[in-house]
């Protein structure tokens, strides 16, 4: 009976060991299968074009900014291949990074020998990728193993440094403005005193009142001058008519012709009168022009312009009088020339 129990115990232990070995084998195969599946998924994920027809192009970069093998290659935002190999090489121009790219055959027509490869990234802080840019589609399409150009990578550190400098400049400007406004509030400087000092304001008001008084006096003088100029213009008009009549009579041999022929004193008096009237007209015109210039200067002043904004009509009257005087003055000069001509004719006739 003891032998039977011993045999049963041995059979139980043997069957238990067999079960454990079977479970171990199953677990081992399961682990190996999961590892193979994971590796396959990883490889297939990095090499999407593993079972499609492809071709290879190469680009040489100065700096790839962390680009890794297996990174995507995109054209116009569409993935067309992947980076097959990244290798540091040495040539005559120094060390460069050789990047081999495997691209699907169906996208060959989109890549030409003039295309440029550039390092980009997915999003702001995403993985690096290669972007192929084509601007000239008239050049030949790339062949397997061709080398295309590479764009220099963006120097983000330099951009960040410039941004820091710009922020620092804005900070300095803000600080300077704060200091300037603080000085204004304290009444420092010319502008600060003007903004905070009542005496400066009162002085400005006094200047305005003085300017208004000056304007009133000038307006009165201008009114008087306008009366004088108009009277002078009327006198010149009358004298001009008399001179025309005199010259007409002289040409026809009437009236004062004899006196002018035989009395030299009368002729000289007439010539002196005409010259005096001409000079009077010149002086009146000059006074009108100077007054108009002074009025325009007062109205264009930044301080007194507002006080002298209402004299346009007076200035227009002065300009009209000035033109009238110019016409009369030209007429007097013409009459004077006619008198001189008559004098020469008389002298030639007496000889």
Q: Which residue has the higher pLDDT, 51 or 222?
A: 222
Confidence band, pLDDT 50/70/90 cuts, at residue 306: very low
Phi first, then psi, for residue 313 (nearest 5°) are: -65, -40
Instruction: Over range 209-226, report the average pLDDT.
Output: 76
User: If we measure between CA atoms, which residue out of 98, 105, 114, 96 comes closest to residue 144?
Assistant: 105
Least reliable range by pLDDT among 34-38, 52-56, 202-206: 202-206
The listed CATH number (1.20.58, 3.30.460, 3.40.50, 2.40.128) that belongs to domain 199-350:
1.20.58
- The pLDDT value recorded for residue 225 is 73
Tokens at 173, concatenated: 């400007």
Residue linked to tokens 């100029």: 229
Confidence band, pLDDT 50/70/90 cuts, at residue 251: low
What would the pLDDT profile of 54-111 be if each residue is shown by its tens digit? 999 999 998 888 888 989 999 998 999 999 999 998 877 777 899 999 999 999 999 9
Tokens at 94, concatenated: 């120094």
The residues, any chain, with a CB within 8 Å of residue 251's CB and separated by 6 or more, are: 342
Q: Residue 199, Cβ neighbours under 10 Å: how many?
A: 8
Q: Is the pLDDT reported for residue 302 higher than 50? A: no
d(CA 124, CA 315): 70
Confidence band, pLDDT 50/70/90 cuts, at residue 320: low
Tokens at 81, concatenated: 């291949």
d(CA 58, CA 115): 11
Q: Which residue has the higher pLDDT, 190 or 334?
A: 334
Q: Which long-range contacts (CB under 8 A, 24 or more apart) does 46-52 make?
A: 46/70, 46/82, 47/82, 47/102, 48/79, 48/82, 49/81, 49/82, 49/102, 49/103, 49/104, 52/104, 52/105
Instruction: Over range 184-192, report the average pLDDT.
Output: 66
Q: Is the pLDDT reported for residue 313 higher than 60? A: no
Instruction: Over range 110-126, report the average pLDDT.
Output: 85
Mean pLDDT, all residues of the chain: 72
Q: Which residue has the higher pLDDT, 347 or 238?
A: 238
Which parts of 97-197 fold into alpha helices (H)?
Answer: 156-186, 189-196
d(CA 264, CA 249): 17
Q: Which residue has the higher pLDDT, 114 or 7?
A: 114
Tokens at 23, concatenated: 């479970």
Burial of 337 (0-12, 13-18, 19+ CB in 10 A): exposed
Q: Is the pLDDT reported for residue 234 higher than 90? A: no
Rg (CA), the chain: 54
Confidence band, pLDDT 50/70/90 cuts, at residue 191: low
Q: Is the pLDDT reported for residue 211 higher than 70? A: yes
96 three-class SS? strand
d(CA 237, CA 61): 95
d(CA 249, CA 242): 10
- The pLDDT value recorded for residue 176 is 80
d(CA 132, CA 112): 10
- The pLDDT value recorded for residue 73 is 94
CA angle 177, 180, 182 (to 5 degrees): 110
Q: Which residue has the higher pLDDT, 159 or 105?
A: 105
- The pLDDT value recorded for residue 304 is 44
- The pLDDT value recorded for residue 305 is 47
- The pLDDT value recorded for residue 6 is 58
Q: Which helix (H) or strand (E) holds 332?
A: helix 312-350
């Amino acid at each position: 009976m003891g032998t039977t129990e011993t045999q049963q115990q041995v059979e139980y232990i043997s069957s238990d060991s067999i079960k454990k070995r079977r479970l171990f084998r199953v677990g081992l195969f399961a682990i190996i299968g999961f590892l193979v599946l994971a590796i396959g998924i990883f490889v297939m994920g990095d090499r999407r074009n593993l079972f499609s027809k492809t071709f290879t192009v190469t680009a040489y970069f100065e700096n790839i900014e962390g680009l890794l093998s297996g990174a995507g290659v995109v054209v116009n935002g569409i993935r067309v291949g992947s980076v097959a190999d990244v290798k540091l090489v040495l040539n005559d121009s120094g060390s460069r990074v050789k990047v081999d790219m495997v691209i699907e055959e169906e996208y060959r027509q989109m890549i030409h020998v003039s295309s440029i490869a550039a390092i980009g990234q997915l999003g702001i802080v995403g993985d690096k990728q290669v972007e192929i840019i084509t601007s000239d589609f008239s050049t030949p399409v790339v062949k397997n193993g061709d080398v295309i150009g590479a764009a220099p990578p963006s120097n983000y550190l330099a951009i960040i440094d410039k941004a820091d400098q710009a922020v620092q400049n804005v900070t300095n400007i803000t600080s300077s403005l704060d200091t300037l406004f603080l000085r204004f509030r304290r009444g420092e400087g010319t502008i600060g005193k003007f903004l905070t000092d009542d005496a400066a304001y009162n002085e400005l008001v006094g200047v305005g009142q003085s300017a208004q008084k000056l304007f009133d006096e000038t307006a009165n003088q201008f009114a008087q001058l306008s009366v004088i100029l108009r009277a002078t213009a009327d006198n010149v008009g009358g004298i001009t008519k008399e001179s025309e009549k005199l010259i007409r009579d002289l040409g026809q041999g009437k009236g004062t012709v004899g006196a002018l022929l035989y009395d030299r004193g009368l002729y000289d008096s007439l010539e002196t009168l005409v010259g005096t009237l001409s000079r009077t007209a010149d002086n009146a015109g000059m006074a009108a022009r100077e007054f108009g210039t002074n009025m325009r200067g007062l109205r264009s002043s930044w301080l007194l312009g507002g006080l002298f904004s209402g004299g346009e009509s007076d200035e227009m009257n002065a300009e009209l009088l000035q033109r009238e005087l110019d016409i009369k003055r030209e007429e007097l000069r013409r009459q004077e020339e006619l008198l001189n001509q008559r004098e020469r004719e008389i002298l030639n006739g007496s000889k």
